[in-house]
Every structure is written in C-alpha cells, then in structure tokens.
C-alpha cells in the first residue's frame, strides 16, 4: 500500500484552502496558525510540491493546490458520511422520522404504540417538518412526504392516495344554523389552505364548488392557513368549514368531533410516500418501520 500523508496535514490543508487563511483554519481546528503552517509545510514536503502561494498579507492556492483541494474535501465528506452511517446503524440509536405536523399528529402518533409493541428496543424520534432533507448529512432515517413520488437517487415507497372532503365542527351547526344545501355555505366562513401558492393545481374550494355545480357561493372569502395542522385545528375549533384530507379527518368524524355535511370529494394528484436513502433503507430499524407502515396503511391502498 502506498504511504499516505498524515491526516492532520490533510485537515490543515483542506481548512486553509477552503478559508484561504491559516488564521481561520487555526480557529476552526483549535490550534495555532503556526501549527497550521507547519502541517502544510510537512504536506508540501511529502508531496514535493507547493500547495500555496505566499503573498504579502494573504495566501492563494497554487495550480496543484487548486487541483488537490476538491479531491481532499470530497474525501473528508465521504469519510464523515461513512462514520455517520455506522453510528446510525447502532441498535441503540433512535429511529428518526420526519413528516408534516398534520400527518404526524393525526395519522402517525395514534398508531405508534403498535410499532413500539412490535419493536420495543427501537426508540423513535419525531421531526415535524416538510423541509427538504439531506439523508447523507442529517440524522434523519426516513421521511413521509406527499408529492409525485419523484425523488431522484432516493428509495421511494408509495403509501396511499387521499381525497379532500368538506368538514366542520358539529358545534358550528348549533343555534339553528344549517348546512343542508351547498348554497348554505354562503352563511359560513370557509377555511382555506395556502398550498395553491406552492402548487397552482392544488384542489381548493373553487374546484369543489365547481364539482357540486354551485355558482352562488364566493369561494375566495374566509381564513387562509399555510400549515395543514392549523387548518385542521381551526375546523375542530368551529372557526368554519374546511377541506381536509379524508384519511386525517375520518377518525375525527368517527369520534364525533367533526361532521361531513356533503359527500362530494376532490381527489388529490399528490400521494403519500415513504422516502429514504439507499444506504439507510438497508438499516434494520428502517426496514422494520417500512414493513410496519405498509401494513398500517394497507387499508387505504385497498380502498
């Protein structure tokens, strides 16, 4: 095996080359600028070439240094990814799941006890977010996202599709207020989702009213929310009538906390998927969760 340069020297070069400063590299590595300079000098002697050009009050990468830096930086990145992956494979490490707050609170949490019963040794950590995740850099094992299922270079498993249905709190219909005809919606506040700002094709009240051929209700008035869990809570609190995902609303309807005044529903073109990286898909706790959630959501796929 060919002899490799010292790791400390490579770390000093990568940091100094990224910052173009021995001082900044010293702060990052918690050593003195002199120590950084010495490590780089050792590396240059090992390679028998100059990696930096020393200017009056600055440094610049030489041609060889410019060629060397991205390769070393990529090597350190792969090294960190390998270490993180091995740490995440530990049997005592938690399973970290990320998903939107509404899915977590209304669908996943009520079922998590059954997963823990099957896998009591697996701790679970919840990340309530719908942001993009870098599985190679973050301590996240799986994501549950709704979309078109096109996630390049990731492992994607279809879970289920869903529809939007009109719902409201039964308390909203007290004091003689009625929702017998669609035109009665003129007397109620409509609760809206701001998903249309992200996707112009997202189903909304205008689409639902078109399906039921109602042209006497203003689909634009009401209250708008940019988070689905806020929309859900507003409906539960009797703030108005909302279009909610049937898979989330059905348990609340069964419990009597929501009612569905009209049967018409809108299909949503985006579906729920389980998403992870190929590396993490092979981890035992991720495989166990994938099998469990596919079993839990089978009734929705069959429907």
Question: DSSP letters along 88-116, please?
Answer: HT-TTSPEEEEE-HHHIIIIIHHHHHHHH
For the CA atoms of 172, 178, 180, 182, the dihedral, rounded to the nearest 10 degrees, stands at -70
Provide the pLDDT confidence category of residue 84 given band limits of 50, 70 and 90. Answer: low
| Residue (of 122, 165, 119) closest to 264 by Cα position | 165
**Domain 7-88 in CATH 3.40.718.10:** no
CA dist 156 → 110, 146, 268 (Å): 23, 11, 19
Helix axes 228-236, 246-254, angle to 10 degrees: 20
In degrees and rounded to multiples of 5, residue 199 shows phi and psi of -140, 105
Provide the pLDDT confidence category of residue 200 given band limits of 50, 70 and 90. Answer: low
Match domain 95-161+270-302 to its CATH number in 3.40.718.10, 3.40.50.300, 1.10.10.10, 3.40.190.10. 3.40.190.10
| Residue (of 240, 241, 178) closest to 208 by Cα position | 241
Provide the pLDDT confidence category of residue 201 given band limits of 50, 70 and 90. Answer: low
> HSE on the CB side for 152, CA within 13 Å?
0
Q: What is the pLDDT of residues 87-116, one digit of tens each?
A: 655 545 789 999 988 899 999 999 999 999
Contact 106, 248 (CB under 8 A): yes
Which architecture does CATH list for 163-267? 3-Layer(aba) Sandwich (3.40)
Cα separation, 77 vs 171, whole angstroms: 56
pTM: 0.68
Sheet holding 95-99, edge to edge: 124-128, 95-99, 142-147, 271-276, 155-160
> HSE on the CB side for 5, CA within 13 Å?
19
Ordered by start, the domain boundaries in the chain are 7-88, 95-161+270-302, 163-267
Q: What is the pLDDT of residues 207-227, one digit of tens each?
A: 999 989 888 899 889 999 988
Does the fold of domain 163-267 match that of domain 95-161+270-302?
Answer: yes
Q: What is the mean pLDDT of residues 48-77?
A: 89
The residues near 119 (Cβ < 8 Å, ≥ 6 apart) are 285, 288, 292
Give the SS3 label for residue 291. Answer: helix
Q: What is the mean pLDDT of the chain?
A: 88
Give the SS3 label for residue 52. Answer: strand
- The residue ranking higher by pLDDT, 175 or 47, is 47
Give the SS3 label for residue 229. Answer: helix
Q: What is the mean pLDDT of residues 157-173?
A: 93
């Amino acid at each position: 095996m060919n002899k490799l340069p010292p790791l400390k020297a490579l770390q000093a070069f990568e940091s100094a080359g990224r910052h173009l400063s021995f001082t900044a590299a010293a702060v990052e590595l918690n050593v003195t600028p002199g120590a950084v300079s010495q490590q780089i000098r050792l590396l240059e002697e090992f390679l028998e070439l100059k990696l930096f050009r020393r200017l009056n009050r600055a440094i610049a990468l030489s041609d060889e240094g410019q060629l060397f830096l991205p390769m070393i930086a990529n090597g350190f990145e792969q090294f960190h990814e390998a270490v993180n992956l091995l740490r995440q494979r530990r049997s005592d490490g938690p399973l970290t799941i990320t998903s939107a707050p509404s899915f977590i609170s209304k669908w996943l949490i009520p079922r998590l006890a059954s997963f823990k019963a099957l896998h009591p040794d697996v701790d679970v950590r919840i990340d309530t977010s719908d942001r993009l995740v870098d599985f190679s850099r973050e301590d996240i094992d799986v994501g549950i996202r709704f979309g078109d299922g096109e996630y390049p270079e990731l492992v994607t498993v279809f879970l289920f599709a869903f529809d939007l249905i009109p719902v409201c709190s039964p308390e909203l219909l007290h004091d003689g207020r009625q929702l017998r005809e669609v035109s009665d919606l003129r007397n109620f506040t409509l609760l809206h989702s701001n998903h249309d700002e992200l996707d112009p094709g997202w189903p909304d009240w205008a689409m639902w009213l078109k399906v039921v051929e109602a042209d006497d209700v203003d689909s634009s008035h009401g209250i708008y929310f940019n988070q689905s869990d806020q929309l859900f809570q507003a409906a539960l609190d009797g703030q108005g009538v909302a279009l909610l995902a049937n898979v989330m609303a059905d348990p609340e309807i069964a419990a009597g906390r929501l009612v569905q005044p009209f049967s018409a529903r809108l299909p949503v073109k985006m579906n729920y998927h389980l998403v992870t990286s190929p590396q993490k898909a092979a981890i035992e706790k991720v495989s166990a969760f994938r099998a469990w959630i596919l079993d839990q959501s089978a009734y929705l796929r069959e429907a």
